[in-house]
Amino acid sequence: MRMQYDNPILSRRAAAVFALPTLVFIGVFLAFPALWAIYIGLTNLRLTGISAIQPRFVGFANFVSILRDSFFHNSLRITAQFVLGSALIGQLLLGLLLAVLLYNVKGPINDIVSSIVILAWIIPEVVVAYLWVAFLDYDFGLLNATRNLLGMPAVNWFFSHPVLSIIIFNTWRGTAFSMLLMGAALQTIPPSFLETADVIGASEWRKFRDIMLPLIRPHIITNAVLITIWTFNVFGPFLLTGGGPAFATDLVSIYTYRNAFKYFKLGYGSAISTIILAINLILASVYMKLARRGRA
Amino acid sequence: MKSSWMQRISLLAIAALLLAVSVTQAAGVTLQITANAVKGGKNTQDAEWIETVIPEFEREMKAQGQDVRVQFLPAGIQDEDYKARLALDIKGGGGPDVIAFDHFWVPEFAEAKFLMPIDNYLKAWPEWGQYFDSMKAMGSFRGKTYLIMGGTDVRMIYYNKELFKKAGIPVPWQPKDWNELLAACRIIKQKLPGVTPIQLNAGVEMGEATSMQGFYMALQATGGWIYNWDTGKWIVKSPGLLDALNLYKAIYVDEKLGDAMLQVSPKARDKSFALYQAEKIAMYIEGTWMWSSVIAPSGAWGIPDRDARIGWAAFPGSGKPGAPPIASVSGGTGWVINPNTKHPDLAFRLLAKLNSAQARIDYWLKKPGIPPRKDLADAPEVKANPFISETTKRLVPYTTYRPGSPLYPEVSYQVQLMTERVVTGQMTPEQALDAYAKAVAGIAGDANVEIAK
């Protein structure tokens, strides 16, 4: 249902004038680069060589070869595992769990736990990546040093469990956001609902399933949309594995980076970006539909 | 009252700042110079040397009435990232004026007009006549010169004599063919647990170092090459290509004489140097640079008693009929001028200073390489260096260069990918070579590739 403004504060014309600077900014810094990227994707532009100064229009040739490229299929498969593992199972579930557990806990424990979780979120990405390398590295990592002390053989985590390593890294990194968002959502539940349930003698599980979950459902969906899209586009794991070993952690973002800035294929890279944009739009619209159904 | 005080003070401060900025700007010209070198890190010798050349140059310019300041922008990153940074800087209309540059990047940069041709300046530069023709060719593309070579190199096996002695292999050691090379690897694997016998670069993580120090060495040793100089076509299938891949398979897959995991680890190259320094790798196939920079006593992975502890051997031919006795590949770096420079004349004077006879000797003493010019080759210091004179004599007759094609870097990437597929066991040598042939045909066009018997 559309809201009706019978008595607008501003006239339509004044509103347009006020909105104009924003529209210009969005046009110059968002719409134009996006359209430009789509155009570049239709050329064979490179960073060096003759096609750096004389790019040719190649139509959809880039798109055809991307869709045929086994490295692209590989990166899509890995990204799907990564999103499922670190965004949905990792950040969303763990964040929800932490929020629910902390819901009834007040005082120092709550403060300490949330501080630690939030700390993981506010430390700069490069520092976090360094910490994880220092923890998981085969030769000098803390985890393997500890295993050696306990008489267990060292494991080359990035080599033997590359996808799992970056999933744990990203879960650790991003859970705080889900926890905060879910925690805030739980605060919107009127306490009387839960108190009434206590009086009836409902179990904790029933309280969660029948009271909390339905009430925060829209928030969960919003959270899922946001972190799915973020995780889909995240580049941080590059700092841990560089996309390797042997392309085992070659997320679509890293695949794009490799082609555009390591192999200098700017046209090809732009075409990949366009495909990623389309995938993101599809993901977002699926969630939007879910969210709308949830509210109905 | 209070606020007006504050206003006055801040106005004064701004005025002082503006004055300071304009004064520094008025004080002549600033030139920027960059190299992938940083004091105490990668190529530390280059960084130290540049910092001695700069004040000399500034003094000389001042004596001629030119007020020039030179700013050195160090870097200590992977070569591929350094190259990408330069391409982006120059494409964006900026970048340092004078740039340390790998000669094999010249074709693709020159084609994009990312380098300034310097032929007009060279005509008036008396020292240009000292350069060997092969070195002049390495800095030029399609008839124009863009780069002055600082030095060239050769590739060989650096072996740790102490580890060899512990394993019971007599030193000095020189394998005659691949069988003898693999035999030494097997002895080390058996006698010295925890030591990786050999490092033959593989995989895309090591970038060009995989092509140069790894695959091309193996390929040259079979008598094959990636490019047919006569027809100008890329060779995408040959018995030599397959033999070279089978050497990788023997080392990394069948007998585990090398560390396949290491090849595909992030920062694999730095890690492998650290392992070599820690005596966890017995043989390392690398260029002159390894000796004169990486493991030099002053190097980033320095070995204090390098001369006593490390020996070198020529990389042997495969031993099959028609294969050469020795294989080596050469590259090298030099200096170029950014076409975006606002002071091309001064930039060339800095370039000439960096490549003056005295500067070349000073550099050579810090980081001995194979001299690119006659006067340096004849210098008594150079002649007295046994490592340089012996490697020059033994290896230069067998060495080869990369094709100077703008497509080369893309083909080279496919070479790296091909070795990665074999050492990780993803593909057999035959499958990897098929994939390579297809990819190179896609890059160069079907008409520009050929199959050698």
Which pLDDT does position B20 carry in this prediction? 60
Residues B396 and B411 in one domain: no
pLDDT at residue A2 tops 70: no
pLDDT value of residue B393 = 86
**In this structure, is residue B118 part of a structural domain?**
yes
Q: How confident is the model at residue A295 (pLDDT cuts 50, 70, 90)?
A: low
**In terms of pTM, does the model score above 0.95?**
no
Looking at residue A296, what is its pLDDT? 47
Tell me the two tokens of residue B308.
């006593």
Task: Give the one of A52, A245, A262 whose C-beta lies nearest to B84's C-beta.
Answer: A262
Residue A184 lies in a domain: yes
Same domain, B20 and B141: yes
What residues in B contact A156, CB-CB < 8 Å? 261
Q: Is residue B299 part of a domain?
A: yes
Q: Classify the complex by whether its ipTM is higher than 0.85, answering yes or no.
A: no
Q: Over pLDDT 70: what percentage of chain A?
A: 97
For residue A49, the chain B residue with the least C-alpha distance is B108
Report the Cα B194 to chain-centroid distance in Å.
Answer: 30
A209: left (phi over 0), alpha (psi -120 to 50) or beta: alpha
Determine contact: B266 vs chain A, CB below 8 A: yes
Which of A46, A47, A48, A65 to probe by mutation at the B interface, max B CB count within 10 Å?
A48
* Domain end marker among B401, B416, B438: B401
Alpha-carbon distance A78 to nearest alpha carbon in chain B (angstroms): 17
- Identify all chain B residues contacting A241, using CB atoms and an 8 Å cutoff: 266
Q: For residue range A11-51, what is the model confidence (pLDDT) as tens digits?
A: 888 888 999 999 999 999 989 988 999 999 999 999 888 88
Residue A294 Cα to chain centre, angstroms:
22
Q: Do both B169 and B287 map to the same domain?
A: yes
Is residue A61 included in any domain, yes or no?
no
Q: With an 8 Å Cβ cutoff, are B406 and A246 in contact?
A: no
Residues B25 and B136 in one domain: yes
Chain A contact residues (CB < 8 Å to B): 46-50, 52-53, 138-139, 156, 158-159, 240-242, 244-246, 261-264
Residues B25 and B101 in one domain: yes
Q: Which domain holds residue A149?
A: 69-295
For residue B134, what are its two tokens? Answer: 């092969």
Identify whether the C-beta of residue B250 lies closer than 8 Å to the C-beta of residue B257: yes
* Number of residues that this document lists for chain B: 453
Question: Tens digit of pLDDT for each residue in A59-115?
Answer: 999 999 999 998 999 999 999 999 999 999 999 999 999 898 888 787 888 888 888
Question: Between chains, do B112 and A48 touch, taking CB under 8 Å as contact?
Answer: yes
The residue type at B240: G
B6/B29 Cα distance (integer angstroms): 36
A261: chain B residues, CB-CB within 8 Å: 84, 88
CB-CB under 8 Å, A48 with B109: yes
Considering the domain architecture, whether residues B290 and B431 belong to the same structural domain is answered as yes
Considering only residues 110 to 169 of chain B, which have any Cβ-Cβ distance to chain A shorter than 8 Å? Answer: 111-114
pLDDT for position B27: 60
Is residue A217's pLDDT more than 60? yes
Measured between CA atoms, the residue of chain A closest to residue B272 is A139
Contacts of B114 in chain A (CB under 8 A): 48, 52
Q: Which of A53, A246, A262 sits opposite B113 (nearest CB)?
A: A53
Eight-state DSSP code of residue B343: -
Nearest to B426 among A47, A246, A262 (CB): A246
User: Taking CB atoms and an 8 Å cut-off, how many pairs form between chains A and B?
Assistant: 70
Inter-chain residue contact A245 with B87, CB threshold 8 Å: no
CA-nearest residue of chain B to A156? Answer: B261
pLDDT in tens, chain B (453 residues): 455 666 776 767 676 666 665 555 546 899 999 999 999 888 999 999 999 999 999 999 999 999 999 999 999 998 889 999 999 999 999 999 999 999 999 999 999 999 999 999 999 999 999 999 888 988 999 999 999 999 899 999 999 999 999 999 999 999 999 999 999 999 999 999 999 999 999 999 999 999 999 999 999 999 999 999 889 999 999 999 999 999 999 999 999 999 998 998 888 999 999 999 999 999 999 999 999 989 999 888 999 999 999 999 999 999 999 899 999 999 999 999 999 999 999 999 999 999 999 999 999 999 999 999 999 999 999 999 999 989 988 898 898 889 888 899 899 999 999 999 999 999 999 999 999 999 999 999 999 999 988
**A contacts of B87 (beta carbons < 8 Å):** 47-48, 264
Q: Which of A47, A157, A169 to mutate to test the interface with B (most CBs of B within 10 A)?
A: A47
Task: Look at residue A252 and tell me if it is in a domain.
Answer: yes
Q: How far is CA A75 from CA A32, A45, A283, in A?
A: 28, 23, 17
- Residue A158: its chain B contacts at CB < 8 A? 265-266
Looking at the complex, report in whole angstroms how far the Cα of residue B318 sits from the nearest Cα belonging to chain A. Answer: 28
Considering only CB atoms, A244 lies closest to which of B109, B205, B410, namely: B205
Residues B26 and B171 in one domain: no
CB atoms within 10 A of CB A176: 21
Residue B367 belongs to a domain = yes
Q: B247 and B358: one domain?
A: no
Q: Do both B310 and B197 map to the same domain? A: yes
Within a 13 Å sphere around the CA of B312, how many CA atoms are in the beta-carbon half?
A: 24
Asked if residue A264 is part of any domain, the answer here is yes
What's the whole-number average pLDDT of chain A? 88
Residue B154, classed as helix, strand or coil, is coil
Do B60 and B209 belong to one domain? Answer: no
* Record: contact B265-A244, CB cut-off 8 A: yes
Q: Which of B111, B142, B410, B412 to mutate to test the interface with A (most CBs of A within 10 A)?
A: B111
Binding-face residues of B in 64-103 toward A, CB within 8 A: 80, 84, 87-88, 91
Q: How many domains does chain A have?
A: 1
Q: Is the CB of B261 inside 8 Å of chain A's CB atoms? A: yes
Average pLDDT of the residues in A132-137: 89
What is the rounded average pLDDT of the residues A274-282?
91
In terms of domains, do B104 and B215 share one?
A: no
The reply to whether residue B265 touches residue A263, judged by beta carbons under 8 angstroms, is no
* Structural domain ending residue among the three candidates B365, B384, B401: B401
* Contact status, residue B293 vs residue B45, Cβ threshold 8 Å: yes
CA atoms within 13 A on the CB side of B169: 28
Q: Which of B102, B264, B336, B412 should one mutate to test binding to chain A, selecting the residue with the greatest count of A CBs within 10 A? A: B264
CATH number at residue B248: 3.40.190.10
The per-residue pLDDT for B86 is: 96
Instruction: Write out pLDDT tens, residues B414-453.
Output: 999 999 999 999 999 999 999 999 999 999 999 999 998 8
Amino acid letter at A233?
N
**CB-CB contact of B182 with B257 (8 Å):** yes
Is residue B26 assigned to a domain? yes
Give yes or no for a contact between A52 and B112, defined as CB atoms under 8 angstroms apart. Answer: yes
Per-residue pLDDT at A245: 83
The residue with greater pLDDT, A1 or A132, is: A132
How many domains does one find in chain B?
2
Interface test mutation site (partner A, options B424, B427, B443, max chain A beta carbons within 10 A): B424
CATH of the domain at A148: 1.10.3720.10
Residue with tokens 């001369």: B307
**pLDDT on residue B202:** 97
Judge: B108–A48 Cβ closer than 8 Å, yes or no: yes
Q: Does B56 touch chain A (CB under 8 A)?
A: no
Rounded distance, CA B125 to CA B352, Å?
8
Contact B406 A261 (CB under 8 A): no
Domain contains B150: no
* Same domain membership, residue B289 and residue B176: yes
- Write the DSSP string, chain A: -----SS-SS-HHHHHHHHHHHHHHHIIIIIHHHHHHHHHTTB---SSSHHHHSPPB-TTHHHHHHHH-HHHHHHHHHHHHHIIIIIIIIIIIHHHHHHHHHHS--SHHHHHHHHHHHHHHHS-HHHHHHHHHHHH-TTT-HHHHHHHHTTPPP--HHHHSHHHHHHHHHHHHHHHHHHHHHHHHHHTS-HHHHHHHHHHT--HHHHIIIIIHHHHHHHHHHHHHHHHHHHHH--TTHHHHTT-STTTT--HHHHHHIIIIIS--HHHHHHHHHHHHHHHHHHHHHHHHHHHHHH-
Range of the domain at B205: 155-329+404-451
